[in-house]
Amino acid sequence: MRTIVYVDGFNLYYRMLKDRPSLKWVNQLALAQNVLQPGHIITRVNYYIARVSARAHDPQAPARQATYLNALGTVPEIVIHEGTFMISEPWMPLANPPQSKPNGYNWTMPQPAVVKVIKSEEKGSDVNLGVHLVRDAFLDAFDVAVVITNDSDLVEPIRIAIHEAGKRVGLLVPVKYPNQSLMNAASFYLRIRPGHLRQSQFPATINLSGGGSITKPATWV
């Protein structure tokens, strides 16, 4: 079966990789191959992500991400689709009682009703994934599509691809208990487990055909 995989990069990251740094060096093509049943011929892996910006608590994050994207770029079947981040500083209501990090922070009295926060929002990735899924379905680019996500915003594109374009669309879910609306919409679903991630890692050093190499970030141990 001709299969295209659509990876919601940030959903996978926050659901399975954020707290598992040693598994962040994952080859997305190998991951799909290790989870899917035999018979899927993966012709393309579309990986949707946005470039992170440097923050005071982790100024090296953009460099690590760039290294990882370069590693993905060594796999011919993987196509990276970049969205954008929008940073804003809105006023938002403060929870009562407030909690803080570090623990034990002393709030001024009386406590404010609202506080100003730094808010970062990823823009474009979900829309791009949904549009590409529907387009590819109507263009007969695949027999089966597989979406790695647990984001219910993708229910409608999945429904259109199945019921209007007549395709099968499955889920590879990065959580123990998948979103019910996604499960109801999809043709099938399989769960990604930590063992799948461990089996799907790039070599610590990737040697490039034209010379040079790409090395796994030292903090991803």
Residue type, 140: D
Give the chain's residues under pLDDT 70.
Answer: 56, 85-86, 109, 120-124
Predicted confidence at residue 89, as pLDDT, reads 80
- Report which of 99, 130, 98 is spatially closest to residue 111, judged by C-alpha positions: 98
Predicted confidence at residue 83, as pLDDT, reads 83
- Taken in order 94, 85, 174, 16, the sign of the CA dihedral is negative
Predicted confidence at residue 22, as pLDDT, reads 97
- How much of the chain, in percent, has pLDDT values that exceed 70? 95
Task: Please give the model's pTM, rounded to 2 decimal places.
Answer: 0.88
Predicted confidence at residue 10, as pLDDT, reads 93
The CATH H-level superfamily of 2-86+122-215 is: 5'-nuclease (3.40.50.1010)
Whole-number Å distance between alpha carbons of 152 and 175: 13
Whole-number Å distance between alpha carbons of 46 and 186: 18
Predicted confidence at residue 120, as pLDDT, reads 67
**Maximum pairwise Cα distance, the chain:** 64
Whole-number Å distance between alpha carbons of 46 and 62: 21
Whole-number Å distance between alpha carbons of 65 and 25: 10
Domain edges within the chain: 2-86+122-215
Predicted confidence at residue 56, as pLDDT, reads 60
Residues 6+ apart with CB under 8 A from 165: 134, 137, 138
Predicted confidence at residue 124, as pLDDT, reads 61
